[in-house]
Structure 1
Amino acid sequence: MRLIIVGAGAIGCTLAALLAMSGQAVTLLARGDTLDAVRRDGVRLTRIDGTHQVPVQVTGVPDGLGPQDAIFICTKAHSLGDVLPGLAPLIGPETCVVPMVNGVPWWYFQGVSGRLQGRAIEAVDPGGGLLAMLPWQQVLGAVVLITAERTAPGTVHSTNPLLLVLGEPDHTEHPRTHRLAAVLRAAGIDARVSTAIRDNVWTKVIANLTSNPLSVVTGATLDRLYSDPDIVPLVRKILHEALQVAAAYGARFPVDLQSFLAQGAGMGAVRTSMLQDFDQGRPLELAAIGDAIIELAALQGIDMPVTKDVIALARFRSKAARACASSPHASTTPIRVSQREAHA
């Protein structure tokens, strides 16, 4: 298959390295320091079995590559509107576009019947711009259950098991889905095919919602978010609000509360992608992970007061940190506090 990965962050580099190691022809679309680093050294991927230095074909522009069989878009959800138009040279009539992004996907109301059929989700697709750029029939739903952290340009650390669920937006079976899943399995990724991809979307959305914004507010890693007695009550409240919305859309959530908390804590001292973005001063995916779910809740007449408050706090912290970093008076000297001040 002709495969290209758009976005050379933690997930994109992990996927590119694994596919290349399996012998699959794959191209990584990157830019800046990452483009230079991968051209020079390949992708440096640390897995549980050690560190691999993997040569990967990389380019900074999509021109000249021609239509691809599949395009994995591994950018942030809020970047899709900027990224998708530039991929036109790669998209032919049979090209499958796989958005590997967090949160509620822009195609959620496509390919299904009901009163909301064909509707755009304003939080992730204002005015339906993404829907207008690409027919939903060329989109393949993906739920990414991969933890990875970019430690330097072209350098990634990912030691947990890798799971990727693929499914058609109209919940049918299609040969392309099984073919792509087979390629991913050959690369060591547990790739599964779902005929009810929205159930899988909700499972991941709820995991994101109960962890990402709270990680920005608290600074906690996954093990602490799902086990600390001061944080778990908040997690439970957000979880119950989200489950009510998921149920309103007919989604099935296959995990009970205690198992959900145990699985989250069992991920270890992993910093969420949103916490990584916060630490690097990058924009947060609050629209896709938070605002879109609140929008879906409002369409069903459901309120999410705790979720709204936590998202507002995360957004405030992000704005304040970025404003401080851009201030001409910002100091790079660490602030030292006394024991009394630390407990105040």
Structure 2
Amino acid sequence: MKIAVMGAGAVGCYYGGMLARAGHEVVLVGRPLHVDAVRRDGLRLQALAFDERLPVQASTDAAALQGARLVLCCVKSGDTETAAAQMRPHLAPDALVLSLQNGVDNAERLRRVLPQEVVAAVVYVAAEMAGPGHVRHHGRGELVLGQCSRGEELVQLLAAAGVPAEVHPDVRGVLWGKLIINCAYNAMSALAQRPYGELVQGQGVTAVMRDVVAECLAVAAADGVPVPADIEATVLRLAATMPTQHSSTAQDLARGKPTEIDHLNGYVVRRGEALGVPTPANRVLHTLVKLVEGRGPDG
């Protein structure tokens, strides 16, 4: 099957690489630096159990999506509408678009632009771009998918590529669960530039996390979203399972790139305002990240 990745960062390269390793025809659409490296040397996927260079196609042009039956949309949340507009002229009518993005509303935003079937997915993977055309996998890798017409086919295809996946009847609640984890970790990891294991050892950090989670739960309840019951315990456990992981927000700040904080803590703040739920802890974290983001990597 031809599979395309729109937004070939760490997440897109990991899953694209795993699918290429399973024998699928994979094309990555990304930035010139990464595209040039992949064209020259292949995609280097450095995982826990192997380190391989994979022969995948790469392009800076969304026209490379032509003929793909499955498209993994992995662009930053702030680029969703732009990416959708770029993809639309090149997507086959029967293409399935899988949103592998942070935040809770990207699939909905894609559907406003694309006539194709769009499915939200919740991503649990620790990965980073270690250099041009080089993705390093630190752990996990499972996906939770929303219901769709090809759900069973997708689960089997991903499983055959070494990617555990399941279809969930209410993916919105699972997306919110991931959002809460990101709200608890990403901003503080970014501001401190510390991996999760070190972060939670900081004075007052777990107390702030509990405040953030409590606000998120209050907003979710007001919005009618059924969040997993054990989410607070899941948040507090995460550092032990990913002690060396830096959040994507931390990686963005370190490289002077725009972050997705507007679609994480910022989203909770906006929904809280709309629903009359106060979110002071999320507001402070969102504000601080935006201040640092504006300074650039050497500010």
* Pairwise TM-score range, normalised by the shorter structure: over 0.9
**Who is 1:93 aligned against?**
93
In the TM superposition, 1:260-275 aligns within 5 A as: 260-275=235-250
Q: Deviations over 1:217-271 (max 9, x none)?
A: 2222111334434311111110111111122223132325344312333211111
Query: When you count strand as a share of all residues, which structure comes out higher?
Result: 2
| 1:147 match: secondary structure | strand
Q: Distance in 1 between matches of 2:166 and 2:26?
A: 20
TM-score (norm 2): 0.92
Q: Does the Cα contact within 8 Å between 1:224 and 1:265 map onto a contact in 2?
A: no
Aligned CA RMSD, in angstroms, stands at: 2.0
**Who is 2:82 aligned against?**
82
Pair 1:308–1:296, CA change in 2 (3 A):
same
**Who is 1:180 aligned against?**
154
Pair 1:209–1:26, CA change in 2 (3 A):
same
In the TM superposition, 1:172-321 aligns within 5 A as: 174-248=148-222, 249-255=224-230, 257-321=232-296
Please state how far the C-alpha of 1:64 moved relative to its aligned partner.
6.4
Q: Does the Cα contact within 8 Å between 1:42 and 1:54 map onto a contact in 2?
A: yes
**Who is 1:153 aligned against?**
132
Compare 184-193 and 23-32 and name the one that shifted more: 23-32
Pair 1:65–1:73, CA change in 2 (3 A):
closer
- Corresponding letter in the other structure for 2:270: E
Please state how far the C-alpha of 1:31 moved relative to its aligned partner.
3.1
Q: Are 2:1 and 1:21 equivalent residues in the alignment?
A: no
Q: Does the Cα contact within 8 Å between 1:103 and 1:290 map onto a contact in 2?
A: no
Q: Distance in 1 between matches of 2:236 and 2:210?
A: 9
Q: Distance in 2 between matches of 1:11 and 1:157?
A: 10
**Who is 1:165 aligned against?**
144
Q: Distance in 2 between matches of 1:68 and 1:224?
A: 42
**Who is 2:119 aligned against?**
140
Pair 1:65–1:245, CA change in 2 (3 A):
closer
Pair 1:197–1:64, CA change in 2 (3 A):
closer
- Corresponding letter in the other structure for 1:75: V
**Who is 1:105 aligned against?**
105
Unmatched tracts of structure 1, length 5 or more: 109-124, 169-173, 326-344
Please state how far the C-alpha of 1:138 moved relative to its aligned partner.
1.6
Q: Deviations over 1:288-335 (max 9, x none)?
A: 11222222222322110111011111111111236x55xxxxxxxxxx
Compare 75-84 and 249-258 and name the one that shifted more: 249-258
Please state how far the C-alpha of 1:89 moved relative to its aligned partner.
3.4
Q: Percent identity?
A: 29
Please state how far the C-alpha of 1:65 moved relative to its aligned partner.
5.3
If you compute each CA radius of gyration, which structure gives the higher value, 1 or 2?
1
Q: How many residues align?
A: 298
Q: Distance in 2 between matches of 1:73 and 1:289?
A: 18
